[in-house]
Amino acid sequence: MRKLFLLLLLVIAVFISRPLWEDKVSPYADLSFMDTISDRVLSVIETPNISNALETFTDTITAIIVDIDDAVQQAPRIQSDEPAPSVEKPDLSIPTEQVFSIYNIKLGDSRDQVEQELGEPARQSQNEFGSSWYAYHENFGNFVMVSYNEDGLVNGLFTNQDLITSSIGVTLESSKENVRKELGDPLTTIRKGLIRYQLQNDGEYDVYQVDDAYATIFYDKHEDYTVTAVQIIHESLESERTEIYTEPSDSLKQGFEYQLFDLTNAARVEHGQSVLTWDEQVRETARKHSLDMAENSYFDHTNLNGQSPFDRMKEDGVSYRVAGENLAYGQFSSIYAHEGLMNSLGHRENILKPEFGYLGVGVAFNDDSQPYFTENFFNK
């Protein structure tokens, strides 16, 4: 009885002293939650010779990769029908009036100039700035996304391929150390309305203000933190996004879906893999799972009914011999979601897996306008 009394006294003392040891509320909104990536990647191969290749997965990427590799080694190798595209790299010049250019395109160039260089866009889709990304590529080689203002002048650029030149010598595969040597310390906060948001600081990207623009330099932590992508957004375009998350709409949902598909294929081409084919049927499977997670506030490959991605695909009539799923949520664009997935080893392997031939992407938003991304990969 005496021990119980002393224990109660200790609990009361800790509770009373709580203000002394709890951290003070930060004056900033912390954005580290935006970079949530599911810590489990699922992949399965089903063939007549393997009746049950789906293993019980643990929460560690290493164990999951071992399971996947074992299944791949036991099953016949399935390749996409399309070979990896080969596209001639353009002659690139170093910009003199701005720090960065992408495929010789700079902020302020006209749409006519861009399309004389790149041809007609392959896709137009809404982005988080209330503008559109125009995607230019040759079967996902020489991949560039461009945004234009109302006067038809470039106000946004992105690429995740070797099309970056700069007046300071930063290119694709430059080291993070070299970027910071040339550009200094990156921004730690960004202001939206009356709120100043604390940028995440896990080292996977840096944000700088250069040339009246925000330049986001993404790094590949699996390749010694070298530059893997660059996004350049003019200050006037960034100011259009008054909240850190954009108000959801059907066109934004579709935009995020197609952008994540395009980014995935551009990454595959950059890494010598074949192009995936968009699949509308599995997109609906992915959409339903994203919506279920958003509406019911959970984040998992297994839904609340106990169904795995493969259960959901089969229920929707999707036939496959190999399949996988990537999940992400909280990022405010498909670009950030994709780059985060590429920096997570199991997800990266799904994105670059040669056995996959088809992809459908489904996006949904929760009540706080945060997007949930589901990628369903498979091959027939």
Predicted confidence (pLDDT) per residue in 123-145, tens digit: 999 999 999 999 999 999 999 99
Amino acid 74: pLDDT? 30
Q: Which residue has the tokens 């010694």?
A: 224
Which stretches does DSSP call E strand in 121-275?
123-126, 132-138, 141-148, 154-159, 164-166, 189-192, 195-198, 205-210, 213-220, 226-234
Q: What percent of the chain has pLDDT over 70?
A: 78
Task: Please check whether residue 358 is in contact with residue 375, taking contact to mean a CB–CB distance below 8 angstroms.
Answer: no
Amino acid 45: pLDDT? 47
What's the CATH code, domain 252-379? 3.40.33.10
Question: What is the value of pTM for the model shown?
Answer: 0.83
Q: Where in the chain is the domain with CATH 3.40.33.10?
A: 100-244, 252-379
Phi, psi of 80, deg, nearest 5: -65, 145
Whether CATH 3.40.33.10 fits 100-244: yes
Joined together, the tokens standing for residue 183 give 């550009």
Which stretches does DSSP call E strand in the chain?
29-30, 36-37, 42-45, 100-102, 123-126, 132-138, 141-148, 154-159, 164-166, 189-192, 195-198, 205-210, 213-220, 226-234, 277-278, 322-329, 358-365, 371-379
Amino acid 196: pLDDT? 84
> How would you list the strands of the sheet with 29-30, edge to edge?
29-30, 195-198, 189-192
